[in-house]
Amino acid sequence: MSDTTTAEGGATTNGRLSHRQILTVLSGLMLGMFLAALDQTIVSSAMKTIADELHGQSLQAWATTAYLITATLSTPLYGKLSDLFGRKPMYLTAISLFLAGSLASGMASSMYELAAFRAFQGLGAGGLMSLALAIITDITSPRERSKYQGYFMAVFGVSSVAGPVVGGFFAGLDSFAGLTGWRWVFMVNVPIALAALVVVSKVLNLPHTKVNQKVDFLGAGALTLGLVPLLLVAEQGREWGWGSPASLAMYLVGAVGVVLFILQERRMGDAALLPLRLFRSSVFRVSTMVTVIQGIGMFGAMMSLPLYLQIVKGATPTQAGLQMLPLTLGIMIASLGSGRIIARTGRYKAFAVAGLGLMAAAVFGFSAIGVDTSLGVVMAIAFVLGLGLGSTMQTLTLAATNDVSPTDIGVATSSVTFFRQIGGTAGTAVFLSILFSTVGDRIAAAVRSAMASPAYVAALAQHPEFAQRMSGGLDVNDTSFLSSLDPVLARPILEGFSSSMSTVFVIGGVVLTIGFALVWLLREKPLSDKSAMEQRAEQEADLALAG
């Protein structure tokens, strides 16, 4: 390992940046973070419309899961490569891949094509968030980092507000500038990505300590072998059968991949993609376990809620985006408030505990909503969920990265992001699988119950074309017909969807309750008042004196 420290733009540094220098670097990071954050919200609000137009409502999980799989798999690789070769080149690579994937996704002609292009887009997304967090950790100390919390959360807040509204707006347009409206959900990334490339190229000039290590490509291959089959069976298990030969084969291949990955990481030692020594720290270990669980609940709820608003409550994509505003407000209030208190007191565990408790309570609350639940109640529960998310998301990352060596910041930060993505990917795939595997039976049961109602029978007689459609089984791949269907006939279908979504939320609440129990085990370690760059500079100075 070399102890030569130079800025990626050529300048030398003692590791401390001024407030103005930090803000200059953050201006570049914000654009990259905005890309990743915006994509998560803009696509979810428009996915129902996209799936209807591409006739693949039950296939929508492929488009989401493919993106999350590649984003998850590439995250630890970005962290390790940035430790080896520097943050700037890897961040520019991530933006470029995301840009190309966005262009391709905007041209998709089927759900299968969209899934493939979203997978490519995910290769870039894996670096956008994790590297931004690593760079933030490089240049700010844990104690002072909360001073900049407002800047970070402003990005998430704007994207959380703009994403659903813009996504809903474009999804509701027949065409815009010669392209089908929903295609702009992806095309809107292009000018932002181009601006990010320019800004990052100019402002992201940080010191980098060259590390002479091999890239753990075997570890990356083993991780892929272990993760992809398990996520595929999570998505396709309802069609294959959870105990079918195909599912059993996926379980076996995934288990072999996980074992090979652990053996490879143990063999590689410090050069490992995910160094196992990080898990010797109880703080890092507990933080990552809770992060996985939080990811399951966070992504599961944030994917299911827009579907409830659009399918059950009949909201347009734009309306559904606006109805998610209380969630965003809760995130911003809790993040800003907790950040200021942590900066003043240095205490953070209470926010992680309270946040997981609020998340669990909110998701259980969602399990009780139905067709007739008022929007006010739904939005109030969403606000509580936002408070929980805002209290825990950055707190868990702060706890984990505060307890690792400054030379491991890249891989540690990417590991936390990786495990959150693991939870999110698995949660999204499993929750959507549960939803669409149960909704058919729930609708059938609701229709049988409605047949006892004279009003329903009379409405059915007045719409023989719908009766014929129902006789062959309802196709849930396209739910657009609900907006023009007789409310009496639509009622049992909405009840069926609502019942399945309640099941999804109950399971999510149970998962988050487990996380709430585990987070009490988190040991609160005093926060350092030096950034990772300062600590590395001090270590190198000590080595120079000793030499």
Q: How far is CA 285 from CA 134, 270, 276, 291, 524, in A?
A: 18, 17, 10, 10, 13
Residues 77 and 226 in one domain: no
Rounded mean pLDDT, 304-327: 81
CA distance 35 to 324: 19
Hey, CA dihedral for 133, 134, 137, 139, is it positive or negative? negative
* β-bridge partners, 176: 179
Q: Inform me whether the pLDDT recorded for 121 exceeds 90.
A: yes
Average pLDDT score over residue span 483-508: 86
Q: What is the pLDDT of residue 380?
A: 95
Residues 202 and 230 in one domain: no
Same domain, 208 and 235: no
- Name which residue leads in pLDDT, 299 or 368: 368
Q: Return the number of other C-beta atoms located less than 10 Å from residue 64's C-beta.
A: 23
Write phi, then psi, for 5 (nearest 5 degrees): -115, 120
Task: Classify residue 203: in a domain, yes or no.
Answer: yes
> Residue 454: its pLDDT value, please?
84
Residues 322, 251 share a domain: no
228 and 208 assigned to the same domain: no
Write down the pTM of the prediction. 0.81
Task: List the CATH number of the domain containing 80.
Answer: 1.20.1250.20
Question: Which DSSP symbol is given to 5?
Answer: E
Among 147-156, 197-206, 513-522, the range scoring the smallest mean pLDDT is 147-156
Encode pLDDT of 70-92 as tens digits.
Answer: 887 888 888 888 888 888 899 99
Give the whole-number percent of the chain exceeding pLDDT 90: 17
pLDDT in tens, 327-351: 888 888 888 888 888 888 888 899 9
Domain count, the chain: 2
Dump pLDDT digits (tens) for 21-38. 777 888 888 888 888 878
Q: Which of 4-8, 16-20, 188-192, 224-228 has the lowest mean pLDDT?
A: 4-8
Range of the domain at 243: 217-272
Do both 180 and 317 map to the same domain? yes
Angle at 503 between CA 502 and CA 506, to 5 degrees: 85
Give the Cα separation of 172 and 183 in Å (integer): 11
Task: Establish if 460 belongs to a structural domain.
Answer: no
Weakest mean pLDDT among 9-18, 125-134, 247-256: 9-18
Q: Read off φ and ψ for residue 418, nearest 5 degrees.
A: -60, -50
Residue whose tokens read 């949660």: 427
Distance from the first to the final alpha carbon of the chain:
15
Q: Are residues 301 and 241 located together in one domain of the fold? A: no
Residue 389 included in any domain: yes
Predicted confidence at residue 249, as pLDDT, reads 92
Residues 267 and 212 in one domain: no
% of the chain exceeding 70 in pLDDT:
85
Q: Which pLDDT band holds residue 459 (cuts at 50, 70, 90)?
A: confident
Residues 211 and 222 grouped into a single domain: no
Long-range pairs, 268-272, Cβ under 8 A, ≥24: 268/214, 268/216, 268/219, 270/213, 271/213, 271/214, 271/216, 272/216, 272/219
pLDDT at 97: 95
Assess whether 286 and 433 both reside in one domain. Answer: yes
pLDDT band at 512 (very low <50, low <70, confident <90, very high): very high
Ranges 108-122, 511-525, 530-544: which has the least confidence: 530-544
In a domain, 468, yes or no: no
Domain end call among 272, 290, 311: 272
Which residues have C-beta within 8 Å of that of residue 445, sequence separation ≥ 6? 496
163 vs 1, more confident: 163
Average pLDDT over residues 452-478: 74
Q: Identify whether 58 is part of a domain.
A: yes
Q: What is the CA radius of gyration of the chain?
A: 24
